Structure formats: C-alpha cells, structure tokens
Amino acid sequence: MEAKAAARQRLEAARADLIELSHRIHAHPELGWQEEKAAQWVAQTLAEAGFSVQRGAYGLPTALLARAGSGPLHIAFCAEYDCLPGIGHACGHNIIAAIAVGAAIAAAAVADEVGLTVTVLGTPAEEVGDAAGKVVMLERGAFEGVHAAMMVHPGPLDVALPPMVAACAFDVFYTGKEAHAAAFPELGLNAADALVVAQTAIGLLRQHIRHSDRIHGIVTKGGDAANVIPAHTSARYIVRSKTLAQLDKLFPRVRACFEAGALATGCQVRIAGGDKPYADMLHDTELALLYQRNAEALGRQFRTAADTRPDVHPTAAGSTDMGNVSHRMPAIHPIIAIGSLPAVNHQPEFAAHCVTGEADRAIFDGALAMVWTAIDAATQASVRERLMAAHR
C-alpha cells in the first residue's frame, strides 16, 4: 500500500531524532508528575514536525496534547515518560515516548490521504500506582472524541495481548505514642509493632487468595531511634487482581489487616489512596492482531501463552493506567522486545538495555507497526466502522 510506504519513508527520515529523544529522556530520568524536561522535549519534537501542541494540557503541568490531520477516524497514541525511583528508566518509558512520537509523525504524513486524525497524548505519572496520569486525564476529557488509543511498551518478549491486571496503591500511616524504650516501654504505643501485625496478617491472608492476586509493599518510615518507642510509621502497598471486580473484593480484606495492626497495638491508623485504581487491560483483539501482523512483517517473533520458556513467561502480568482507557474505548498495549533477557522490567539491568541498539530498533519497529495498524484501521471499512460505532 502506498500509504504504508509513505509512512515508513517519513519514519526513516525521523529515525535519528527519535533515537536522540529516547536517549535524552533516558539520561534525565524524572519521577511521575515531575517530567518537565521529557514533556518539553516531546512537545518540541512534535511541534517541529508540524503538530499543533498544547503543553500543560488538562491542568496537568507535564501532560501534553498534540494533533494533526482531519480525517474521520481519530486515533490517539499515548506517550509515557516518567521513571522509577532509584533505578531510572527501568521500564523503558523513554522508548514508549519515542515510539508514540514516531508513530504520530509517520501517521501525520498520510493522515488526510487515509482519513485519520492523529493525536498524541503525553500522559504523565504512569508509575505512581494510584490516580495516575491517564486516570486523571480521562476524568478531564482528554480522550473525548477518540475512536481508539494505542501505545507500545518495551519488555523482554514480543507479546500482542499481554495480560494487564487491575491494581490499586495506597499509603498507611500509624500513630502511636513515644516513650523510653528501656525505662518506660509500658507508656508507649508502638506504631512499628502495628506494621508488624499488619504484615503478619497479610502473610497469613496470602494462603486464602487467588493465585493471580498480588499484595506487595514497602515500609516508608519505621521509626526514628532504636531507644524511642516509634510513634509514627508508614508503608506504601499495592494490591493487584485480575479484574476490577476481583480487586474490589480483595482490597477490603487487605485494609482489614492494617486495621488489625492498629487494633492490636492501640495505635491510630489512616489509609490514604486506593480509590482510583488501575483497571485491567481489555485489549481490542482485532487491533492487537493487526499490530502483530504488521510487526511480524518487520521480522518480529511473538510469544503466546502456550510458550513455556523457563526464563520469562509471557503471561506474567503487570498493571497500567492504559487499562482504564481500554474500559472506555478500543485500545491496545502490545509489548515489544528489546533484547534484554535475562533482564526484565524494573531491574537496573533492564534500564541499561533501554539505550542499546536493540532498544533503538524497537523504537522504529514499534512506531512503524503501530502507524501501519492505524492505517489498516482507517482503510479497512469493517474495522473503521466498528471503531466509530463503538464510539457512538
């Protein structure tokens, strides 16, 4: 198809700039809601490519909206660019941003010809775990008028339909009473003990939950001095389940464990967050398989749930606020391999792989497969009409 060839030619012309953008974001990691440099660089690249760009979109300083084309089918490419604390871009959001920008630039070159409106949404704070960027942007109308949303995420394997589960993150704060730990321990209320009780209760709970459920967290404050009964402790936890419905049943059981810690020690407990969870990802199967076919045309090899590789299994599930988008409109979130094995996401070794030659190739392949998928959606009448009917 001539449109696909033209999109590829435009992407080839932008390849060096996209790699440079990815490497620059990687070299300057920024936490969620603090991605000032990354958002600026993404916006600048799109503006130079002819997009109309709104910085600080939807009242979020590090969100952005860029648009080109005026066709009837409206596709949004989502760009993430926040990092993880301590280990930087160990989930490859620098690659995600570059892929989204590349797909949009290539799509814009043929948008009017094939009937596309192309939007890039810079979506901050995907890693924060609660009330994340896309969740807030959905609430504020960022995806209104969009027929389908797409993004491509780096990982150890190419997977078209990766399982993404529901999740909620929350903070727990205990308040007790200080006392001399040796001379007057009976006068204290030990907030650290409250956390120990809660964690013990969670450990016992694990034998009575689904195999697919996850409960994990860290202590963010454990006390101030060994000779003072801790009066203030805190923790941050994440609870995950396959679906929002299952999460709604699991989360109260976990809350009860933290409440038990307060009850057992006489401390007060405050639980903050968890009310704006990540939804499970509902992949649009037809779009995902179009993406897979286009990526395979570039030499990509996909794994399925039937594979039994001992190093990494493709059914290993994470969570994403793209799941919330997928509950509102057709969406895809395929994984693209960057040659990282045995390193996997959220490891420092994976962060190092996100600026290798394989990662740079993934930027081109992911962007091209995604823009070809958008072209397929716009030019195949059955797909186009289904997407537009779903929006109506």
CATH number, domain containing residue 202: 3.30.70.360
**Whole-number pLDDT of residue 315:** 52
The residue assigned the tokens 């990766």 is 162
For residue 316, what pLDDT is reported? 60
Q: Per-residue pLDDT averaged across 93-121, rounded? A: 98
Residues near 70 by Cβ (< 8 Å), separated by ≥ 6? 111, 112, 117
pLDDT of residue 1: 74
Last residue of a domain, one of 273, 306, 335: 273
Q: Which has the minimum average pLDDT: 30-34, 83-87, 129-133?
A: 129-133
Give me the percent of the chain exceeding a pLDDT of 70: 96
Give the percent of the chain with pLDDT over 90.
94
Q: CA–CA distance from 285 to each of 188, 296, 358 (Å)?
A: 58, 16, 27
| 362: enclosing H helix or E strand | helix 357-379
25 and 87 inside one domain: yes
Distance of CA 212 to the CA centre of its chain: 19
- E strands, the chain, in order: 52-55, 64-69, 73-79, 116-122, 148-150, 153-155, 166-175, 214-221, 232-241, 268-273, 331-332, 335-337
Whole-number pLDDT of residue 166: 97
The HSE-up count of residue 189 (CA atoms within 13 Å, CB side) is 16
Work out the pLDDT band at 306, boundaries 50, 70, 90: low
In which band, very low, low, confident or very high, does the pLDDT at 317 lie, cut at 50, 70 and 90?
confident
CATH number for position 11: 3.40.630.10
**Type and span of the H or E element at 371:** helix 357-379
The Cα–Cα gap between 5 and 264 comes to 67
Residue with token string 């109309």: 52
- Kindly calculate the radius of gyration of the chain based on its CA atoms and give it in whole angstroms: 23
- pLDDT value at position 311? 54
Q: 334 and 216, same structural domain?
A: no
On whether both 260 and 303 belong to a single domain, the answer is no
Q: With contact defined as beta carbons under 8 Å apart, do 333 and 320 qualify? A: yes
Decide if pLDDT at 232 tops 60: yes
Amino acid 220: pLDDT: 98
Whether residues 160 and 170 fall in one domain: no
Containing structural domain, residue 227: 166-273
Over the stretch 104-114, which tens digit does the pLDDT of each residue have?
999 999 999 99
Note whether 219 and 305 are same-domain residues: no
For the chain, the residue count is: 392
Nearest alpha carbon to residue 158 among 282, 333, 380, 343 = 333
The total domain count for the chain is 2
Last residue of a domain, one of 204, 238, 273: 273
Same domain, 237 and 287: no
* 65, 57 Cβ separation under 8 angstroms: yes
Q: At what angle do helices 381-391 and 285-296 cross, to 10 degrees?
A: 140
